[in-house]
A and B are shown apart, each in its own frame.
Chain A
């Protein structure tokens, strides 16, 4: 049994290097134990077993590009079993070339489920990051910061989106699973946990006004809202603490609209209609 400890913060390269060596040495998935290295593991002196040497009798491994795309996403998942799952798939795909096009295969189905979770997590990050302005511009560039709490290690793979979109401003996105920062020249990534910045932005007040008034109280659908914007995101959304009162007041507001007698139009209405 070979035991390997990985940092496991969404970096495909560390897993890929280990997996390639194992494959070349002919080590089957049942003979590898994958672990996530954390502070505790270091304390107890858990360390990687040395990687075995390549077996020259084995054919060169094949890695379909579809596998790399899948692995690149799956590796970002927090599931501790992801390393073993990917190695099992890699091992099997050497013999079963069509494996990845059988979505009903249990390993493929599981990997696709993790991939989907990563896509969703990244999509929600693009949606729910909220930038707050940090004081006055510096060197003519405005500066913003955001705090976000993703489920998985997705900051690295999602940062490019923010760079392509918010190009003319400086920004930093801090999360417990790493951070990304842009200064107009360089995108700086880190996988170290960040501290939550404490910022107040007055424009949040206008956004809250918009949120409250674009809501139609005659069409309350709380389930539909929550399935798309689960409560775990609410604490970092400036608009979310309005939601309970909007829900509580909706029925009265609707009844008020229905019960109210039709009113008389104002004079300008008659002036317009006379012109017709």
Chain B
């Protein structure tokens, strides 16, 4: 019996939820006041709802179809899985996007697909949805398209014309991991596609000689996703791989997705799942690399095994391992060093720099800047405050780490 639109929506959202990205920020600013159409992007992304997994719902994130020729072990849609299959027509996705958008449920569409027939055929379908939204319906909301690595350059070109963001998932942090768990995917080709995208995105930022106008190509850049905990890669390997991607292909984001139980899982998957905290620590480390001036080796060399601490965050772990760099004087230290103080961040550091031009800061001044004085106190000097022996205390870690759970005798 044919499945209703609602039944297929259920299947194809279930199939899409393992892609972590839902970002709708970082593209050009535009709206419909001149066109009289529908949709806008005004810089900041908007999360229109949150699911009980704590994740932001910003986009209608669905697959065009979850039929797939590939058999990637970790994937809910692999060809050997027995999950229910379904398919939308391009018109149905267009309709759902517009109707959801009009009710202000979403910022736009994140469309991906299982590979059916051929890479080009699949990519053509995705591009058609984006093209119809833009050209037939005057839609100016956000569009994120998954690109199929093997698709032809003309299709990618067209995708970039209509989409805000394009992405190709690298899937696993090492080439061996990809070959083992995603046998139909080819790491070299994935990187080649990312490199092509990055060149096109950069080229489109330059005004052309002929027209002096910028061409449109994925103004929101490209992103990718890595699954954590399927292969044996350490955090140092994972983050090293991210840095490589950030620097070579200028990715906007690398998403980390702790592999989680899926319906009808393959027996080739590891039995234990990584703790969700590991994913969280990877994001924190990624942030330290991108916005706090840390390099990855500093963050991942705290432990001998190349993994991040789970019970304390990577910035605190670095500070505890580098106590000779503290205390930092909030009234004199350079911005770079202030950013390295556990408890100070990219919001509070500019406030401190601004305020200290006019007065010497005390702890209660920091409190008014919404700094947690309890957290920063051991690491800083301020007017009327120096931490004395605090940075040398051997139990400093215990002041921050969560209380260890007592082992149960009967566990």
Contact = CB atoms under 8 A, between A and B. Distances in A.
B10 A223 contact: no
Interface string A238-260: 01000100110010001001101
B51 A260 contact: no
A205 B264 contact: no
A252 to B, nearest CB: 12
A263 B365 CA distance: 62
Contact of A213 (B13, B42, B44): B13
Nearest to A104: B365
A142 B37 CA distance: 12
Contacts of B31: 164-165, 167
A102 B358 CA distance: 7
A210 B57 CA distance: 10
B45 to A, nearest CB: 10
Contact of A103 (B37, B39, B355): B355
- Which of the listed residues B33, B79, B99, B276 has the most CB atoms from chain A within 10 Å of its own CB? B79
B9 A220 contact: no
A221 B53 CA distance: 5
Interface size class of B (residues with CB under 8 A): 35 or more
A205 B40 contact: no
A212 to B, nearest CB: 8
B344 to A, nearest CB: 14
B359 interface: yes
A105 B354 CA distance: 12
Contacts, number: 205
Contact of A165 (B6, B32, B80, B355): B32
Contacts of A95: none
Interface stretch (A49-57, A79-87, A266-274): A266-274
Nearest to A204: B103
Contacts of B81: 265
B38 A221 contact: no
A161 interface: yes
B80 A207 contact: no
A13 interface: no
B48 interface: yes
Given A166-B102, A211-B57, 20 more contacts: A106-B368, A129-B104, A164-B32, A165-B32, A167-B31, A167-B38, A206-B6, A206-B100, A210-B100, A210-B105, A213-B14, A214-B61, A219-B258, A220-B52, A225-B53, A237-B49, A243-B52, A257-B262, A257-B263, A264-B82
